Structure 1
Amino acid sequence: MPTETTVATTPAALRRAADLWPDGLAVVDEQWGDPIELTWTHLLAAVRTTAAALVAHGVGAGDRVAIWAPNCAQWPIAALATQWAGAVLVPLNTRYTALEVVDVLERVDARVLVVAGRFLGADRLADLVALDEWSELTRPPATVRIRLEAGDETRDDAVDWDDDLAASADESHRAEADRRAEAVAPDDLSDVLFTSGTTGRSKGVMAEHRQTIAGAHAWGANGRLSPDDRYLMVNPYFHTFGYKAGILPCLLFGTTMYPLAVYDTTGAMDLVERHRLTVFPGAPTIFQTILDDPTRPDRDLSSLRLVVTGAAIVPVVLIERIQSDLGVDTVITAYGLTECSGFVSTCTPEDDDVTVATTCGRAFAGMEIALSDAGEVLARGAMVMRGYLDDPAATAETIDADGWLHTGDIGTIDDAGNLRITDRLKDMYICGGFNVYPAEIEQTLARIPEVTEAAVIGVPDDRLGEVGKAFVTVRPGSTLDADTVVEFCRGRLANFKIPRSVVVVDAFPRNASGKILKRELR
């Protein structure tokens, strides 16, 4: 098992994987029709072909390619092909509405959009085309559509992944893509991941290849990944947890990817049992559902050796049950944020249950952590982003002159170096593993004609960890009710951002300067 790597770009990592494990399985996807099984040699070939097709569609070095699709075999192919062609990957949250996607496409000036076809009753491309906002795009991107469900038809307004994509490239395009792959440098941009900001508008986090690879390698080495491992991927690929702690560590350590687009307890256990899967990261709620499933005692999940969780407080008893009831030897918790490619601190396989459950461990290899005088968690090192897209002011506010990234979280560090997150400087809360920033929701609520002011907080939820609770003041005589507010948010906000409850108040508690006191609302 390689514990060190000299590669610092994803094209170099893919070439290395094909050299080291040519016949090893890279991806197995049984979700749609005929199963897809790709060795590392096959994956490299698919990536080169797709990269050539992107070049044929006008993608240049440094251009942006967006992917709006659930976990499937085509996702890592498209992502790695984008970077093979010298372009920049822009993952899009599958829970985004069409309006939210158009906003991102405009801001990154995407050259190509790779989008899923009909899936779970929705057709994302059809939703995009139906928007009037399409006309505001200065240059609508070329579109590649992945047909997932049986019977889904091709569309005239998109290139079909299966039938037309490869045919659009010739040998000159392939040669140009290969030339660009060789030319990709460690300090070139690898991706732009969007995360909501406290100003109410999402921020594009720019990461370089060297930062992305450093984080993925540190994560995989800590989990002791190897070509013998088979990785169940329920974390969305558009998220750092699914992409940089999922696809890329597998690329670096030869681990087989098993994507799962929609999590359900039975489906996950079926995959583990049938393929003897060994690695299973996910939010704490996922493992709670498996432990509580009445059919679980009849399942053979003994192949699992590594569970990685986080993004919420983890009860000690949950760690103990994962080990005892599921027979998992190693359970690890970690802490990260998109601005650090998802990697700040982690527990290790040697840590005891209490340390794993009550702390975020020590700094990842290549990272440092410290506390400001106010107790804010600071992070510095190899994984810290280049900055925010087109927002130097926000970058300067987040990364200080000494290179410390200010996380906005309050914490403590014990004598052993273990980090504990105790509070948040910002109002962000985590719903089902996704960061939610109230300012974005408050701006949406402010567009309701009857609403005069709004404030949103996160409140505990047994299933999702936290959910949004909205407080609003309304115009005199208004009969606005909670159902109307929630319905207004649908189509404007991703589901995880929509408040689960709404309270109409006469007035907000405020401090001397007039700012709403959210701590009193809590």
Structure 2
Amino acid sequence: MEPILTTPAALRRAVRTWPEKIAIVDDQWSSTDSPHVALTWSEFSAAVVTFAGALVASGVAPGDRVAVWSPNSYHWPIAALGVHHAGATLVPLNTRYTAGEAIEIIERSDAKAAIVSGEFLGSDHLAELMSDHRATMPDVVVGVTLNGSSVVPDGAVSWADFLDRATDESRREAESRADAVAPDDISDILFTSGTTGKSKGVLAEHQQTVAGSRAWGANGQLSDEDRYLMVNPYFHTFGYKAGILPCVLFGVTMIPLAVYSPTEAMKLAEKQRATVFPGAPTIFQTILDDPARSDHDLSSLRLVVTGAAIVPVVLVERLQHELGVDTVITAYGLTEASGFVSTCTPDDDDETVANTCGRAFDGMEIRLSEEGEVLARGTMVMRGYLDDPAATKETIDEDGWLHTGDIGTIDERGNLKITDRLKDMYICGGFNVYPAEIEQALARLDGVTESAVVGMSDERLGEVGRAYLTVRDGSELDEAAVIAYAKQHLANFKVPRSVVFLDAFPRNAAGKILKRELA
């Protein structure tokens, strides 16, 4: 059988293999017991082709970039795979971005179209962009209204009206473009913050993306009998490449959840008889500790996959014994490797799962540099960074080894353990946070003379930021003002949770701030 090396090829095989099996169920917007949306693989594929046809009819050409800034709902996988089907490149945007952060990515990626959510959780991304940034927005802006309304701002088109643009001719053109998608075409550009404070766009090819998703799904022994509760955001590799795409490759039913809470997750898991439930450790901690957990039947769960933070052995044991989950797996990855570097397997014991990141994924290899830095090489490693050959050369050496910036150890069985970070990055609620970006934002706050941000241990989120500041004489800045300013300019997970004012920073002989002493 010819190998599947592109997402259009994967979707076509899903339709051939499981035409009448359910591809996606989304009832989080429904006020009744019946699902708002339930699509078979045949129906899901038809929706993808229609979306692709609408892109074609709207002037999106092969190789163009299309941004998606929207929470988990049935729209997201249709849009993502529709972008690929039209021969274009997907640019996911973090839903926690401010409008200013989002428009920067849209501009830097030169997106020709943007799919943007309307009113959601007290904010309206679509209205913000169309009122404050209309001049720099692409010509094609599609509004995803999650509250049942079809009203969108001037200059945008509703989801339904956009789909109506597709014609038989444009659908045929989309199918022709899907035929032409090559394994080494760029499938997506995921932006990840850099140590300079400027985000980098990671260029991933179809074959790299699909290889990682296939390896992840095979390791979890996914099948068309599985039902996947998706709390990991789709804009993240965990939700997109370890979520949507493995479902396409293995025929798994997708069950999106846009806003995580233990109550909603348990209700959905019970109602939809979810079998697969990946997420950050804090998610499972909140479920295990929820006093109402016994009110929900979670016996259908068979696989939990976690990572992105230290995983206590007791958490693995509780998931198995209290929730009855047969298999708990931890893994390690980074965006530059499509999210896939190493993983534990279903056969590993609790100590291995909790204390290591397992062995290299199929298609990958890992080793340590002389300094102990984790290096990764293989089929999932990115082509490079968008418009940044210098950073690409610095990150991927001449032998193809990706320098992760993490310090680790590898035991005699090949299990990787991350022990530290070469850089200052910390992980808040599963999201990588780079202090340099926060420090640059705080530098623009009147009164601040210098800042240093470090990650501090937090029981719920793993780590949260603490900002250390020196200020001008006479400045009346206080902690509340600094945090309020950060909230205006940064996504929530980047906002420091506490602020300490110093007379002077501890420094080394070269004058560099000693962050370890601060922490």
Task: Give TM-score scaled by structure 2 length.
Answer: 0.98
Partner of 2:251: 254
Partner of 2:122: 121
Partner of 1:291: 288
Give the C-alpha shift of residue 155 in structure 1.
3.0
Give the C-alpha shift of residue 491 in structure 1.
2.2
Give the C-alpha shift of residue 159 in structure 1.
1.0
- For the pair 1:231 / 2:232, whether they are aligned, the reply is no
- For the pair 1:37 / 2:38, whether they are aligned, the reply is yes
Residue 130 of structure 2 aligns with an amino acid whose one-letter code is: V
Mark the CA change 1:392 to 1:298 in structure 2 (over 3 Å): closer, same or farther.
same
Secondary structure of the residue aligned to 1:332 is: strand
Q: CA RMSD in A?
A: 1.1
The share of aligned pairs that are identical, in percent, is 69
Residue 277 of structure 2 aligns with an amino acid whose one-letter code is: F
Partner of 1:425: 422
Q: Tell me which of 478, 481, 485 is aligned to 1:481.
A: 478
Whole-angstrom distance in 1 between the partners of 2:205 and 2:189: 9
Partner of 2:152: 154
Give the C-alpha shift of residue 5 in structure 1.
7.4
Partner of 2:92: 91
* Long gaps (5+) in structure 1: none
Whole-angstrom distance in 2 between the partners of 1:140 and 1:53: 15
Deviations 1:245-265 (A, max 9, x none): 000000000000000000111
Partner of 2:457: 460
Partner of 1:378: 375
- For the pair 1:363 / 2:340, whether they are aligned, the reply is no
Contact 1:118-1:152 at 8 Å conserved across structures: no
Give the C-alpha shift of residue 300 in structure 1.
1.5
Whole-angstrom distance in 2 between the partners of 1:508 and 1:5: 60
Partner of 2:266: 269
Whole-angstrom distance in 1 between the partners of 2:507 and 2:165: 60
Partner of 2:513: 516
Whole-angstrom distance in 2 between the partners of 1:129 and 1:254: 38
Secondary structure of the residue aligned to 1:304 is: coil
Residue 150 of structure 1 aligns with an amino acid whose one-letter code is: G
Partner of 1:450: 447
Contact 2:468-2:499 at 8 Å conserved across structures: yes
Partner of 2:466: 469
* Long gaps (5+) in structure 2: none
Residue 121 of structure 2 aligns with an amino acid whose one-letter code is: L
Whole-angstrom distance in 2 between the partners of 1:174 and 1:212: 25
Deviations 1:32-77 (A, max 9, x none): 1361001110011001111000011111000000000000001000
Deviations 1:183-225 (A, max 9, x none): 0000000000000000001110000000000000000000000
Mark the CA change 1:313 to 1:298 in structure 2 (over 3 Å): closer, same or farther.
same
Residue 22 of structure 1 aligns with an amino acid whose one-letter code is: P
Contact 2:127-2:153 at 8 Å conserved across structures: no
- For the pair 1:173 / 2:174, whether they are aligned, the reply is no
Aligned pairs (5 A) from 1:68-217: 68-131=69-132, 133-135=133-135, 137=136, 140-151=138-149, 153-162=151-160, 164-217=161-214
Residue 416 of structure 1 aligns with an amino acid whose one-letter code is: R
Q: Tell me which of 384, 396, 400 is aligned to 1:403.
A: 400
Whole-angstrom distance in 1 between the partners of 2:192 and 2:286: 27
Residue 159 of structure 2 aligns with an amino acid whose one-letter code is: W
Give the C-alpha shift of residue 173 in structure 1.
1.3
Give the C-alpha shift of residue 497 in structure 1.
0.2
**How many residues end up aligned between the 2 structures?**
515
Secondary structure of the residue aligned to 1:16 is: helix
- For the pair 1:496 / 2:493, whether they are aligned, the reply is yes
Mark the CA change 1:179 to 1:52 in structure 2 (over 3 Å): closer, same or farther.
same
Runs of 4+ in 1 over 6 A off after TM superposition: none
Whole-angstrom distance in 2 between the partners of 1:28 and 1:414: 42
Secondary structure of the residue aligned to 1:488 is: helix
Partner of 1:58: 59
Partner of 2:337: 340
- For the pair 1:306 / 2:307, whether they are aligned, the reply is no
Whole-angstrom distance in 1 between the partners of 2:482 and 2:510: 28
Task: Give TM-score scaled by structure 1 length.
Answer: 0.97
Contact 2:341-2:364 at 8 Å conserved across structures: yes
Contact 1:235-1:281 at 8 Å conserved across structures: yes
